[in-house]
Chains A and B, each alone.
Chain A
Amino acid sequence: MKSEVKARPVNRSRGRRLGAFVFLSPGLAYLVVFMLVPLALLLSTTVFRRGRFGGVVYEFTAENFERLVDPLYLGVLVDSLKIATLTTLIALLIGYPTAYVIARLPRKWKTIALVAIVLPFWTNFLIRVYAWIMLLSGPGLVNSALKVFGLGPLEVLYTEGAIVTGLLYSYLPLMVLPLYAAIDRLDPQLREASSNLGASAFTTFRKVTLPLTMPGVLTGSLFVFVPSFGNFVIPEMLGGSKSIMVGNLIRDQFLKARDWPFGATLALALIVVLVVLLVAQSWVARRA
C-alpha cells in the first residue's frame, strides 16, 4: 500500500477522493434526504404547538414535554417497559437452554434445528399474530384444551399475557440465534476443567459458561426488547382496547388525534430509552 502511494502519489490520491465521492455520495445523500431530514423534522416538532388538523404551528411551547410526564402517559411508558422486559426475560429463560442444546447437537441436526428456529420468523408477521388470535380467543384451542381438564373458559385474549405471548412468539428466534452463536464458540474443555476441579454443574454454569456467553445474552436481549418495546400491532390485535403500549399511543397521535408534536415527543422518549439501553449494553459488553 505505502510503496504504491509513493510510486504515483498525485494520481492515486486524487483518484481516491473521486472514488470516495462516487461510491459514498449516492447512498449518503439518500440517507440524508429520507432518514436524517425526516428525523430532524420529526424531532423539531416536539417544541412546537400542534396544528388543528395535523401539522405544526411554529410557536415554541413546552406543553408536549409536560404532557409526557402526565401520569396517564407515563403509565403507558412504564407499562410498555414492563411488557417488553417480561418478554425479554421469558425469551432468555426458554432461549438459553434451547440454544445450549442446539450447540451440542451433531452437525447435521444442528443445521436442521437452527433452520427450524428461523423458519417461522420468515413468515408474514401479521399471520403469526393472527394465529394467536385464533388460539387464544374464546372458542380457540387454548380454552378447548382447558375444557378437557375441566377448567376454563378463561378470558385469555385481550390481556397483557396475550401481548407477551405474541411478542415472545414473534421475536424468540432473535434471542436464540445470538445465544447459539455465543454458546457454540465456547470451548467445551473449559467446562470440563471446571468440573474436574470440583465445581458443581451450577457453579460451572454461573462462573464459566454464563460470563463467557454474556455478549450473546446482551445481543439477544436487545434484539427482543427493541421491537417489543415500540410494537403497536401486537398490543392492538392481542391486547384489545384496554391495554395500549407506547407504539399505539404514537400511532394514534399521528393517524387519529392528528397531534404530530406530541406523537413526536413520545417517539423521542422511545428513542431515548433505546439509546440508553444500547449504551448500557456496550458498556456491560466491554466490561465482561
Chain B
Amino acid sequence: MQEPELHDLSDDADYAASQQHGSASMMRSNSGKHSSSSEHDGAEVIYLKDNVTIHPTQFASERISGRLKLIKQGSSLFMTWIPYKGQNSNARLTERDRNLYTIRAVPLTEVRSIRRHTPALGWQYIIVVLSTGLAFPPLYFYNGGVKEFLATIKQHVFIVRSADDANVFLVNDFQNPLQRTLSSLELPRALSVASGQSTSVSVGETSSDENQERTSGDVYEGSISSSQYNERQRQRVHDPARDLSIQVLEKFSLVTKFARETTSQLFRDNHSNGYGAIERRSNNQSPIDYPQKASSDSNKVPDKSPVPPDSLEFDKVSLVWGKPRQAPLGSDEWKTFLDYEGRIMDSEALRKRIFYGGVEHELRKEVWPFLLGYHAYDSTEAEREYLRAVKKSEFETIKRQWQSISPEQAKRFTKFRERKGLIEKDVVRTDRSLSFYDGDDNPNVNLLRDILLTYSFYNFDLGYCQGMSDLLSPILFVMEDESDTFWCFVSLMERLGPNFNRDQNGMHSQLFAITKLVELLDIPLHNHFTQHDCLNYFFCFRWVLIQFKREFEFDKTMRLWEVLWAHYPSEHLHLYVCVAILKRHRSKIIGEQMDFDTLLKFINELSGHIDLDAVVRDAEALCICAGENGAACIPPGTPPSLPVDDDGLLLYPQQELDDVL
C-alpha cells in the first residue's frame, strides 16, 4: 500500500484531510482486471457526465478527462469513471498511466463519503472516500453536474449530510460504530458480483508491476513533491489562517508559483536525459507552429508538458513585438484565395491574412460567413448558394413558429411574452446612435428583434440573454439579409453560447483562464490581484461576455471580431487581448494599489480609450511568448472552442437542481 504517490495535491486541503482518514495511499484500480465488469447485462446507466477530469499533477496539460457514470444493476449502484481514449497524446502520460486512474464499477456500498466542492469560480469537484479510508483523486466536473450526481445517488442509496460539514455526504456511514462495522463487513460481500473487490485488491495487485514500469518522469516528480507537501499540509491542517488561504486557493485551483518551480526544478534535475530533453526540444520549435495545432481540435489537451517559464523574464525582456498590422483584405486580393469554383484554397493563409489586417468593409459580407463557420472553406460558390436557399426556408419556418402565436395564445404563454418583452427592451437600446439603427420605427431594430426571437425558438433552451443583441447588431449591419444574419449569428452562438448559460460555466472557464494567463505572463500583476481580492476577474466580465463590443467604437469592434474569428494564432486570442490590456495599465493598477472596486471602475472607463492595433499586437506577442504554457492555462471546451460533445445531454442546463439534498 505504501507506494509512491502520483498525485501532487499540495493545495488541496480536502485531499489532505481525506488522507488522514486512513491510509495515506491513493487508491487505483487496474483497468485490465475488471474490464468486463462495468457494463453487465441488465445494467442501467442512470447518470452520465462527460468531461469529468482528474488533475494528476498541477500541470494543466496532464489533466485526464473522462466520463463519469452511475450504473444501476438490480438493487446495486456502481460508479465508474473511464478516461477518454486517445484524446490525450501527452508524452508523459502514457495510456497505462491513464488507466491507473480508471475507476471501474466501484459499488456505492464501498463508499464512505463524498465531499463536494462548489466554488463560485473554477470547477466543481468531488472527492470520493472509500470505506477503507482510501480516496480517489478529486473529480473535477468541467460541465457542472455535481448536484445531479448526488441527487441521483440519493435516489438509490442511503446518503446523509454530515453533521460536521454540510458539504460532506455520508454513504453507509452510520452513527453507531457497531452498525458501521457491520455494514462495511456485510454489504460489500453481498455485492461482490461486479468487482466488489476492486478497492483493496487492485492496489495490492498492481503495485508491483507498476513500480517496475514507473520510469516516466511524472511519477518521480509527483512522488517527491507530493510527499513534501503532504508533510507540510499535515502541519497546516488546523491553522485557521491557512484555511482562509486554502479557500482562496481552492476557489481558483491555484498552484503557487513556488510549487510549480519546485516541481519543474526537480523534474529538470532528475530527468535531463529523459522527457525533459524532449520537452526542451519541443519548446524550441517555432512558436508560430504550435497554436494552430492547439486550435485545430478544441478537445485536445496540449500534448507537450510545460516547463513553467520564469514569468519575471517576460518583464525584463521586452516582448517580442507582434508583427505590424497590414491594410485590410481587399476584393482583388480576396479573389486570389479562391479557386475557379469559389473554394478557398488555403484557409489557413486566409485566416492569417485576416488576422494581420482585417477585411475591407464591403468584403465582410462575403468573408464573415466563412470566419463564423456558416460556410465551409472548401465549399464551392454553387454549394453556398444552394445552402443559402435551403437555410432561408428553414429560417422562415422557425420564424413562423413565433409569428403564428396569436395574442390570445400569448396570454397563456408567459415564457414567450417575457422573452419577447426582454428582447424588445434590449433592441431599442442597442447601438441606437448608429444611423443604421437610429430613429423611431427603424426597420433594422425590428430585424434585430425578429432574429433574436427566432433564435430563441431555434435554441429554446438557451433562449435570449442580455448581451446577445450586442453580438447580433454588427452581424446584421454587415450581412443585411435577415436569413444570412440569423445563420451567421447561430454559428457565432455555437461558440459563444456557453457565455450565456444559466450556470455561467462558459464565463467562469474564460475568467479562470485569464487568471492563469496573468499568473503565467505577469506575476507581479497576478500578485497584486491576489492581494487585492481581485482574482475572480469579474472586471473582465463585459469584455469577455460580448467580445469587447462595448469597449470599442462600432467599426473597430468589427475589425477586432474578424481578427479574433480568424483563430490565428490562437482560438483564444481574446483572452490574450484581456491580458494585453491589463498589462498596458499594469503600472497604474499596481502603483495606485487599485482594489476590486477601483479596478472595475477603471476598466469600465477604459471603454473607448483602447488602442486596438496596439492591443492586438501585444496579444499576439503574449500568445507567442506563452506558447504551450499559455494554451495549458485554458481549460478544454473554453469558449470559443466548440462545446465538447455531450452525447445528447443538455447543452444548456435549464437550472441547477436546487438543494436536492
A binds B: no
Interface residues of A (CB under 8 A from B): none
